[in-house]
Amino acid sequence: MSFKKKILWGSSTNAQQFEGGWNEGGKGLSIADVREIPDMPEDANFDEFKIAADHYHHMKEDIALYGEMGFSIYRFTIAWSRIFPNGNDKELNEEGIKFYEEMLSELEKYNIAPVVTLYAYDLPLNLLKEYNGWMSRKCIDDYLNYVKTVVTRFKGRVKFWVPFNEQNFLNLDSEYMTGYKAKNHLEIFQLEHHFNLAYAQATKLIHEIDSEAKTGGNVGTSCLYPATCNPVDVEACDKLKYKVCYNFADVYFRKTYTKRYLNNVKEYDISNVVLDGDLDIISSSEPDFLSTTYYMCSVVSAETLKDDKPMNGLKGKNPYCEANEWGWNIDPYGFKHFLMDIYHRYQLPILILENGLGHRDVLEEDGAINDDYRIEYLAKHIERMREAVEEGVEIIGYLTWSATDLYSTREGFEKRYGFVHIDKNNSFKRRKKKSFYWYKKVISSNGEDLKNL
């Protein structure tokens, strides 16, 4: 069955995992360029991260492939340090911004609407060294100058802007997202508060510059289930939902700090963090839509919800779901449940920015990649999304993760997500996977034809 209303179909990428060209075109260093990932497998090869999928030199080829698939929408992120190499330069880097101008021109050639995320864990390194990055309010000003510059330059060419990528995970790994390792809950809150102020002002700034543009916050999450019906596990599950989702989403979409959010810092004096006028700024944000990323479900217990547990138990195993090699529970039903829950809570149309399956792909002798597991994953999630739409959820668009293979954060190219295969041997040859042709069929049928090839 087709979706009754035409939705936008496409996929997403991320500059730090996809672009490469880390020291080309006048780009400055970002925290992503010098980041050390703990427990990274030896075969992940961090040096490949700086080259990634070499989109910087294959941009036109990549977008032509997306046009061939029939994308109507594509999300990419802009590297702040490609626009302002030091983050706060007096003059922008023309060579850097022209790269994105050329990208927009290629997308326009294929009638693909761009979604632009302005920050995705890649703060210009200089700002971290100069004033500890997002720990300082100076970072808000420098970020807003960057936003103003980019949105002004691309006025009328970008319909959807997302200020930050998955900001709600900041309290799980502040060092990865900002370059600064918070020492306690107060410092985490300070980072979050500065992000929230920047987000609110960015939404207003985008509308002031381009009245036709749409903007909205981004929430990355899982569908969370209590491990048992024991009330302490149910309570733990509820707490984690607020910690990694609702506390932040309430700021983005209800424009306020709830008492539950502020309880996280009730033992601290926050008067030096939340200054006069800050709450007015937050309440003045102007979101048009809600964007989200979804990959898996998780099981939460009172035992796993502890600060010394990795990700606070966010990747707890679900015995009723299959999991991929890295323990991510595959749960299409949870996808529908999450969409229903968050839509009815905030009553904003949803733009799904990421949904996909990480897997080791096998390149056959004839060059084929038969990724039936990816097709099955996506088909089941699209079917549950269709059910959510039938039950009243408003979906703007569905974007998979990812359009092309890219460098996964901890697993490198061992863990692949794309419709297009990237050679690891530095030839960067692009090969269409079986899922490439399948998704082309899905798009042309507006989600009606989900059968495997």
Q: Rounded CA gap, 363 and 430, in Å?
A: 12
Q: Rounded CA gap, 50 and 34, in Å?
A: 9
| Strand, helix or coil for residue 431 | strand
Query: What are the CA-CA distances from residue 279 to residues 73, 198, 208, 258, 275 (Å)?
Result: 34, 12, 20, 11, 8
404 phi, psi to nearest 5 deg: -130, 150
Q: What is the number of helices (H) and of strands (E) in the chain?
A: 17, 11
Catalytic-residue membership of 166: yes
The partner residues of 430 in beta bridges, in order of sequence, read: 422
Query: Which residues, including other chains, have CB under 8 Å from residue 312's CB and lie 6 or more apart?
Result: 172, 240, 243, 244, 304, 305, 306
State the first-to-last Cα distance of the chain, in angstroms, to the nearest integer: 17
Q: Rounded CA gap, 333 and 352, in Å?
A: 16
Q: Which two tokens stand for residue 438?
A: 């399948």
Sign, CA dihedral 152-154-159-163, equals negative
| Strand, helix or coil for residue 262 | helix
Q: From the candidates 187, 354, 411, 414, give the one annotated as an active-site residue.
A: 354
Q: From the candidates 106, 166, 192, 414, give the one annotated as an active-site residue.
A: 166
By the 8 A CB rule, do 305 and 236 touch?
yes
Query: Which residues, including other chains, have CB under 8 Å from residue 179's CB and lie 6 or more apart?
Result: 31, 35, 123, 125, 128, 133
**What residue ranges in 175-263 does DSSP mark as E strands?**
214-215, 218-226
Query: What are the CA-CA distances from residue 268 to residues 187, 188, 189, 265 (Å)?
Result: 10, 12, 10, 5
Q: Which two tokens stand for residue 136?
A: 């300082």
The partner residues of 214 in beta bridges, in order of sequence, read: 160
| Edge-to-edge order in the sheet of strand 350-354 | 214-215, 160-162, 113-117, 73-77, 8-12, 395-401, 350-354, 290-300, 218-226
Residues in the chain: 453
Query: b/e map of 61-95 (b: 16 or more CB within 10 Å)?
Result: ebbebbbebbbbbbbbbbbbbbbbbbbbbeebbee
Active site residues: 166, 354
